[in-house]
Structures are given as structure tokens and as C-alpha cells.
Structure 1
Amino acid sequence: MSYDIAVIPGDGIGTEVVEAVEPLLVDTAATRGVEVATTWFDWGSERYLSAGAMMPEDALDRLAAFDAILLGAVGHPEVPDHVTLRGLRLPITKGFDQHVCKRPTYLFEGVDSPLRGYEGGDIDFVVYRQNTEGEYADVGGREHRGFENEVAVQASVFTREATEAVVRPAFEAASERAGHLTNVTKSNAQAHGMVFWDDVVAEVSEEYPDVAVERLLVDAASMDLIRRPDEFDVVVASNLFGDILTDIGGGISGSLGLAPSANIDPEGTYPSMFEPVHGSAFDIMGEGIANPLGTVLSVELLFDHLGEEAIAEALHGAVADQLADPSAPRTADIGGSATTVEVVDDLAARLVE
């Protein structure tokens, strides 16, 4: 097998981490009989500052032929966050029908959670976040700018097609895992979109009688992810709520530097995109100390999505072995002093072994 992967390294430490991890991606596949070719695109905030756009107008046409996309962290202190998000990531997720944002949260052995009493394996859940509409739909506007009666309107959009596109894979995952799904909304306060969401979840649940469904309001879910994270298995949530809950997940599992994500087109018409959850962290850019494991685990999700389970399992196993080894290098965010490259080199040696 052979695959063509588009690489968008992003900004700040995103570029540093992706540059360190990309050879590991290629070499790990090659040693298992799979050829991977990568094509790099220098799209991001630096391009915006020089050319006025995060990526070119034909970006989606150029990406469409690839088997998958690896995206680094995006963000720049001189560019507003809404510009970077709407200029690169959102056009790709929406343009390629990547309705599912899949974000697993796992507490590895050897990593300390800020929650007392939790050890490796105690926290193991995955969030299925609606990724193309909801609260992040670009519907609304501002009127009377600069006057006392200035007003801003931001509307959420929930369609049956896109809601089912994330709810059904969440039920599939719950059926394959522990048989428990938590549906997170705010339907007590949002009686239209969120109640519609609840109705879709209830309808789809009839197709999965083996899955127990728990309903939580997002404020209660946020509390319970800290109070009883071991009781969660699969969580399904809207765009905004899923975004917030997964940052909590990254925090309780030790570090956002360990958190991966996948942006998936459930129909497989377009390439899916894989990215670490951490930000571009300009405060440590150039120091070579960013944690590469979130990107490595995102590459694991990439290979799993492509059907290369053996490569995905090898990457996950190497990360687990490294984190469980007290003598292994680790970056400062999880209590070590190693560099990005030292961590990746150690992983490469473990993969060879």
C-alpha cells in the first residue's frame, strides 16, 4: 500500500513538532511495508501576514486528491484567533464534510493526572464532537458599528444530516467499546437547537439497543468529567460543547500536549484531517521543548482511519512504553526536561525494537 499525505505544519511550535514527527510517520510505515509520501504546504499565519490569506483560493482543490491531511497547531500573536480559525481549519473541515471531530482522552501509565487517585488506564473516553456547524456556524453579523446601538447576532445551526453524521458514529463507537454513551447538551436553556439534537440522539439510539444513553447538561458534564471521569466511555456533543469538554479531557489526562484529534468525513468522499489539540505556544517557540506526543497520537489516528491498524497499534504502543518508562525522555509539560527531538528519537528506537 501507498499513501499521499498533505502536511500543513501551521504556526509556532506546530511547525517544530510536525517537522520532528513527519520522519517517524514515514519510517514507521516503511518498516511495515507501507509507503508514505508527504507534500508540504506552507499555509498559515505567516502567509496571512505576507499575502493577506491563510491559504490560497484553490487550497481545497489541491488537498482533495490526498489520502489524509496532517495539520500542526495554528495561531499567531499578531493575527486574531477568529481570522486564523476561519481562514484555514474551518474552511477545510466544512469544505470536506468533516462532520466528526474525534478526540480520545486516555491517562497513560506514568503520567500524573491533576486529579487525585487516578492512575494509568483509569481515564479512557472519547468525545465525538460535531465539527461543521452548531455554534460555530458562520451565521450572523454586526450592525451599527461604532454607535451606541451597535448589535451583534450569532446564530447556531443544527441540520439533521450533520447531526446524524456525528451521532451515528458515536453510537457505533459506544457499541464497540463499553456500551455507554453520554449525550451532552444544554436543552433546558436552548429549546430549539439543543432539543432537536436530543431528539436525533433518541431516534438513532433505537438502532443501538445495546448502548445505554446518559443525558447530561454541559455544566453538569464539565463537573462530572472532573468528579468521575472513569465513568465516561463515549461522549457526543455539539461543536462548542465538544470543544470545551475535550480541553477538560486533555487537562485531566496530564497535558494538552498529549491530546490528539481527528476530523473525519464519515462518507470518505474527502480526505480527513488529523491534528494535535495543543496550541501554537509562541512563548516556547524555538526552544525545541514542545511535546510531540499529541502529534504522534494524531498520526496513530490517521493510520487507524486509513485501515493500517498495525501501524497505529505500533505507534500507540511505543508512546505507552515510553511514558511508562521512568528513565525515558519526556518534555517539561509532563515533568521532564527533554527536547522534542529527544522524545521522537526515543520513540523511533522503541519502534525498531
Structure 2
Amino acid sequence: MGDRAGEFRGRVFRPWRPCHRGLPEEVGTEVAIFTRVGVTRIMRYAFRLARSRPRKLLTVVTKSNAQRHGMVMWDEIAAEVAGEFPDVAWDKMLVDAMTVRMTLKPRSLDTIVATNLHADILSDLAGALAGSLGVAPTANIDPERRYPSMFEPIHGSAFDVAGKGIANPVATFWTAAQMLEHLGESAAAVRLMSAVETVTSEGVLTPDVGGTATTQDVTDAVCRTIRGSNV
């Protein structure tokens, strides 16, 4: 999971006057903004999510060895919030080292919390490690539920494969399951994911994960499995 603040909510500056654009004197800056309330919120959500999972394990991703202000605060708040969750095991990883750990020791990880920029990169890596971006869900969640949350497959619209019958629908199904879970429909979410797991274990797969099935084939198989579970 990633924090919507941080690098993607920063102050961007490219000077226009005096007009140095295109000249050696041109300057561009990116200023990331971290707030205590925002970081505390994402950390509490991460620890609660980790607590709800069987392994009760959280990894906090940082880059405080180089980003010595916002990321140091990130680390400090993580340690503070950890005190509220003594039953959750947690550790801290620098984001560059995290890419190595995800690649070589993925089973050592469970729940991961990172800034928006770091999580954006790591989530694509996670999708690739799982076989394809076509299997990964994503969501923009308001943990306080004051505003709507948004759910979509991590690959986005994927216009490049539209109409070709090769898009992997697993990410869409998984995203729908996340949405159902968020809306309190846990039983429906479990049934949907169980159907996806059944279909994929039977080898009904799209080309991106080594299969020959079309988007429609996988979708129909999942729907049939769900209907069968209604009996």
C-alpha cells in the first residue's frame, strides 16, 4: 500500500521568469510533502491490515538514509504506531534493498507500506514477480471512510490490448473482490477469489501468464464457477 501524500503531492517548480527554460541555468525542483496526520493514518491502516492477516507481518519501506527529513519522520511515526500493535511483527527496509528482497525472498514479506512513489514502483515489480501486471489489483482507499474509495486493476485502462481478447481479467476480478471486502461483503469477496483460484489452478490462463485462453474464456469460467457455488 502507498501513501497518497509524499512525492506525488509535492510542490513542483520550474522557473519561467527570469526565463531560463532550455538554458544551462534552468532549474527544476520536486518537494515532497509529508504530514504527521497523513503518515500516522497510513501507518495505522497498514498495521491494522497486517493484524487482520494470518502472518501479522508488516514491512515499512523507507529511504531515510538519503532523504533525511520527510522519510526520517516516516520512520519515527512508524515506530510510534508500532507500539499500538504489539501483536504485529514489523521491520524496515530501504526501498532499493526492498527490490532485492522482493525478488530473492518474496516469502519473507506479507503486508508492505510505502510512500506513493515507492509503492508505485514496488507494486509493478510485485505484479511482474507474480507473472503479469494483469493479475494485480489496486485501490485508493480512504481509511476513515469520509470520501469514496476507488478501485481499478493496477494496469489501468490498457488501451493497447483493447478488443484483442488477450487482456487478463484476473486483476479486474481481484479488484472487485477488494471492493466487496471494503464494502463489508466479505463472503462475496471470498467466493469471487475462490472462483478465480479454482479457474487458474485448472490452467485456464491468458497468454501473459503462459496460457492460451482468451479474456472471454477466463471470464466465462470464473462466472460458471461462481454460479456453481450458488447451488
Could you tell me the TM-score, scaled by structure 2's length?
0.92
- Kindly state the Cα deviation for residue 349 of structure 1 after the two structures are TM-superposed: 0.7
- The correspondence of residues 152-171 of structure 1 with structure 2, limited to 5 A, is 152-171=28-47
> Per-residue displacement from partner, 1:187-228 (whole Å, max 9, x unpaired)?
011110100000110110111111222111111111000110
Give the counterpart of 1:190 among 64, 67, 70: 67
Give the counterpart of 1:175 among 23, 44, 51: 51
- Kindly state the Cα deviation for residue 279 of structure 1 after the two structures are TM-superposed: 4.2
Identity of aligned residues (%): 47
Cα distance in 2 between the residues matched to 1:138 and 1:202: 24
1:189 counterpart SS class: coil
- Kindly state the Cα deviation for residue 285 of structure 1 after the two structures are TM-superposed: 2.8
1:214 aligns with 2:214: no
Cα distance in 1 between the residues matched to 2:187 and 2:51: 22
Would the alpha carbon gap of residues 156 and 245 (structure 1) be closer, same or farther in structure 2, given more than 3 Å must change? Answer: same
1:268 counterpart SS class: coil
Cα distance in 2 between the residues matched to 1:284 and 1:268: 34
Cα distance in 2 between the residues matched to 1:150 and 1:303: 49
Give the counterpart of 1:336 among 186, 194, 211: 211
1:273 aligns with 2:160: no
Cα distance in 1 between the residues matched to 2:13 and 2:76: 29
1:304 aligns with 2:176: no
Kindly provide the amino acid, as one letter, of the partner of residue 337 in structure 1.
T
Partner residue in 2 for 1:147? 23
- Kindly state the Cα deviation for residue 284 of structure 1 after the two structures are TM-superposed: 2.6
> Per-residue displacement from partner, 1:27-61 (whole Å, max 9, x unpaired)?
xxxxxxxxxxxxxxxxxxxxxxxxxxxxxxxxxxx
- The correspondence of residues 279-318 of structure 1 with structure 2, limited to 5 A, is 279-318=156-195
- The correspondence of residues 81-96 of structure 1 with structure 2, limited to 5 A, is none
Partner residue in 2 for 1:68? none
- The correspondence of residues 74-85 of structure 1 with structure 2, limited to 5 A, is none
Kindly provide the amino acid, as one letter, of the partner of residue 180 in structure 1.
L
Runs of 4+ with deviation above 2 angstroms: 279-286
Give the counterpart of 1:243 among 95, 117, 120: 120
> Per-residue displacement from partner, 1:249-286 (whole Å, max 9, x unpaired)?
11111111000012111111111100101144444332
1:346 aligns with 2:221: yes
Gaps of 5+ in 1: 1-127
- Kindly state the Cα deviation for residue 237 of structure 1 after the two structures are TM-superposed: 0.8
Cα distance in 1 between the residues matched to 2:86 and 2:173: 35
Kindly provide the amino acid, as one letter, of the partner of residue 135 in structure 1.
E
1:130 aligns with 2:6: no
Q: How many residues align?
A: 223
> Per-residue displacement from partner, 1:99-148 (whole Å, max 9, x unpaired)?
xxxxxxxxxxxxxxxxxxxxxxxxxxxxx2112x1011141210122332
- Kindly state the Cα deviation for residue 179 of structure 1 after the two structures are TM-superposed: 2.2
Could you tell me the TM-score, scaled by structure 1's length?
0.61
1:215 counterpart SS class: strand
Kindly provide the amino acid, as one letter, of the partner of residue 195 in structure 2.
A
1:275 counterpart SS class: strand
Cα distance in 2 between the residues matched to 1:141 and 1:284: 36
Cα distance in 1 between the residues matched to 2:76 and 2:40: 11
Cα distance in 1 between the residues matched to 2:160 and 2:86: 49
